[in-house]
Structure 1
Amino acid sequence: MLKQFIPFTQVKHQPTIIVDSLYPKGLILAHWRGAVNPPGTDDDTSAGIVLNALQQQIPGLEAPYVSANHFDVDGFVGVWSVLNPEVALQNEAVLRQMAIIGDFRELDLSQPAADKALKLVCWINKVEKEKFYPPFGADEVEDNEMEASVPKFAYFLATFGDVLAHPEAYQADWETEYNQVIADYQIIHGPQTQVTLFPEIGLVQIQTPQPVHYYALFSRTIGYDIVLSQYADNRYELEYKYTTWVDISSRTTLPRVPLKPLAQILQTQETSNYRWTAESVTDTGPILRLNGSKLPKKQRYANPTERPIYSSSIEPTDLNAQVMAYFQSRYAGVKPQQRWTWPEIKAFK
């Protein structure tokens, strides 16, 4: 019997492989906090966990159905791989890079498969926005993600195999974003950008002239979880990467600590008409930034080039001092580890 994708609302009725999601029964292949994956399958991405499971032919893969409760690159690649195991394993390196680029935005063009993976991710990004809705934009279709993502899966599951085999035939869809990423990658890896690492707090500071695409920006953040972006004219953003929302297996991490207290500290020094804001630690990617008005999540998830970033009255050296002092204080005596639980993370006030 051929495997079939089913909506997440139907998984309670039949044996289902659960990808990039949590559910109390079935074979779970996910990097979400709290997920218990089969022994030996752990990976940083859910798609990587799926590929490991396929390599090992673990028990449970015989289930006739597969599902996920949302659509994103990592989850989609995992679902598609379950449905197309032979082709998936033949293209393993590209699929693994797609998941890393899609979820963590960590583009590493020194990896042989990364260039093709970037093209495929850019194709998904373009078609997803044009035919459906952007990530975290389910409210625009007056539906929740669990239900609204089903047509996305149906479309991409039917078309992705051909794009994987012949990406050049789909260049009109991926080339605009791809070219932007490559141009920004050159900026971020060029002399106009200064990168400073603070391994004791897992923070990387990137000073570059103007906002760039996330895939370029985060290409300098591999192995780090907090990114302080500093642009010309005192424009700043500080954010936790998705690497601290999920369980990654390749290294230890520090827990997230609240950003709102730091926002309050900075606000006491801010003399512009904007306010420092930050999301909670449970947000997929909380950002500390100056806000003119509250940004919807789809805009916060979009690239820095796609949202306003305002000039602060705080000088870079003063902001750096406040940020470093805050995290050094909060992380004093805290040791990095794997598999932080949400209760443990929420206990850091």
Structure 2
Amino acid sequence: MNAYSYLPFPQVKSQPAVVVDSFHPNGLVLSHWREAPTPPELREDTSAGMVLQALKQNYPALQQYRYVTANHFDIDALVGIWALMHPELALAHEETLRQMALIGDFRELDLAAPFAEDALKLVCWINAEEKARFYPPFGAEDLEENEVVASIPKFHYFLETFRDVLLNPALFQQVWEPEFNRIMDDYAKVYSSASRIIQNQALGLVVVQTLAPLHYYALFSPTAGYDIVISCYPENRYEVECKYTTWVDLESRPTLPRPGLRPLARALNEVETSGLTWVSDGVTDTGPLLRLQGQKLSKAQRYGHPYEREFYSSTIEQDAFLQTVTNYLDSAFLNTITKKRWTWAEVKEWNARNNKI
């Protein structure tokens, strides 16, 4: 196979490349983004998984390119690009890399899965280095440069250094251990007797009742196969989130369309008497939140872990809150059949018809 080099995304206009976790017509797209023209025989849930699948198949089109690119930095994109640049090593560590993409993109940590703990250490190393050396995920809106340009130094750094950490994670323990320990503690809390997990398969919904906001990798650990999460904390503090799994095209399972949460926010505001306002991000946001707002959150804050943002007490009791959300979803999803590869046009049209309260 050709030796691949990283290509900064702005250059793909004039230089054909494999485009990972992104869109561009000038190359082979290996992306789980909704409506991406990924070859059907390579489709997987993560973009990194698609790259690994292409390597395993020795996919013929790979021979046509010498460059690989992505228009943003995250763990899924990094793993996919690095795998094309180091194909033999990537396939030797395939399951670890697959777990990294799942944890990093979907925040679904399953410590019972093979290689999940190894993958978590690597993800935590990337997270720590990214925060220490660069801007946080979705933090480019605070920079003069946009993400396409601002992410380039991240790729240069991590593509050069990742191999050493993959092969010798213990040497970098001081970097990955603080977040790793936090996650392990929070993971234990999710499954302790002090917490309660309620899964509603018909609605693709998981309710996690626990004592305090947690790290996402722990909070979402019981949500694999589900797409909406209600977090409930003491003192009537809540948050509803549509997972990233309904922003992309999943290959492993069909889904319901992503429901807009703004009609639900309006219904909650009709009974909320705290003086605060229920707000929600739009349906096309990467991970829309519905929450009681004090101070407006930036994109980086909304993407950050729940324990890093403040939650406000509602005057709506928990049983009433859960019933309101469940009734809304029940009504919206009535007579809706799950399927793969919803288009954004279909999602918006479905919401216009069904998302009313």
Q: Which residue of 2 is the match for residue 104 of structure 1?
A: 106
Alignment of 1:260-275 (within 5 A): 260-275=262-277
Aligned to 2:23: 22
Amino acid in the other structure paired with 1:116: D
Alpha-carbon distance in 1 for matches of 2:5, 2:247: 29
| Cross-structure match for 1:32 | 33
TM-superposed CA distance for 1:172, in Å, is 0.8
Q: Indicate yes or no: 2:85 matched with 1:92.
A: no
In 1: Cα distance, 2:73 partner to 2:146 partner = 12
Distance 1:226 1:114 in 2: 23
Partner SS state of residue 60, structure 1: helix
Matched AA of 2:12:
V
Question: How much does 1:326 deviate?
Answer: 0.2
TM superposition shift of 1:273: 2.1
Q: 3-state SS of the aligned residue for 1:243? A: helix
> Aligned residue for 1:139?
141
Give every structure 1 segment of 4 or more consecutive aligned residues whose post-TM-superposition deviation is greater than 3 Å.
none
CA contact (8 A) 1:15 1:65 kept: yes
1:123 aligns with 2:121: no
Residue 338 of structure 2 corresponds to residue 305 of structure 1: no
Alignment of 1:1-349 (within 5 A): 2-62=3-63, 63-347=65-349, 348-349=351-352
Partner SS, residue 190 of structure 1: coil
The amino acid across from 1:25 in the alignment is: N
Alpha-carbon distance between aligned partners in 2 of 1:65 and 1:19, rounded to the nearest angstrom: 11
Residues in 2 aligned to 1:293 and 1:340: alpha-carbon distance in whole angstroms: 34
Number of corresponding residues: 349
In structure 2, what is the Cα distance between the partners aligned to 1:66 and 1:100?
21
Shift of 1:294: 1.4
The one-letter code matched in structure 1 to 2:264 is: L
Q: If the length of structure 1 is used for normalisation, what is the TM-score? A: 0.99
Matched to 2:51, the amino acid is: V
Quote how far apart the aligned CAs of 1:199 are: 1.1
User: What SS does structure 1 have at the residue aligned with 2:199?
Assistant: strand
Tell whether the 8 Å contact from 2:12 to 2:26 is kept in structure 1 after alignment. no
Quote the offset at 1:25 in angstroms.
3.0
Gaps of 5+ in 1: none
* CA contact 2:15–2:26 (8 Å) conserved in 1: no
CA contact (8 A) 1:72 1:135 kept: yes
Q: Which has the higher helix share?
A: 2
- Residues 19, 68 of structure 2: 8 Å contact kept: yes
SS in 2 for 1:200: helix
Uncovered stretches (5+) of structure 2, i.e. residues with no partner: 353-357
Query: Quick one: which amino acid aligns to residue 94 of structure 1?
Result: T
Query: Counterpart of 1:61 in 2: which secondary structure?
Result: helix
Query: C-alpha separation between the residues in 2 aligned to 1:178 and 1:208?
Result: 20
Q: 1:319-342 CA deviation, whole Å, 9 max, x = no partner?
A: 011001000000001001000000
**TM-score, normalization by structure 2:** 0.96
Counterpart Cα distance in 2 of 1:27 and 1:250: 22
What are the Cα deviations for residues 21-63 of structure 1, in whole angstroms up to 9, with x where unaligned?
0112311100001112223211100000000000001122121
Letter paired with 1:216: A
Letter in 2 for 1:34: E
Cα pair 2:232 2:239 within 8 Å, conserved: yes
In structure 2, give the amino acid aligned to 1:127.
E
- Alignment root-mean-square deviation, CA: 0.8
> Displacement, 1:2?
3.1
* C-alpha distance in 1 between matches for 2:207 and 2:242: 12
Residue 40 of structure 2 aligns with an amino acid whose one-letter code is P
1:189 Cα deviation from its structure 2 partner = 1.2
How far off is 1:140 after superposition?
Answer: 2.9
Q: Is the 8 A contact 1:17 1:60 kept in 2?
A: no
Once residues 307 and 59 of structure 1 are traced to their aligned partners in structure 2, the CA distance between those partners, rounded to angstroms, is 47
CA distance in 1, matches of 2:40, 2:185: 41
Alignment partner of 2:230: what SS?
strand
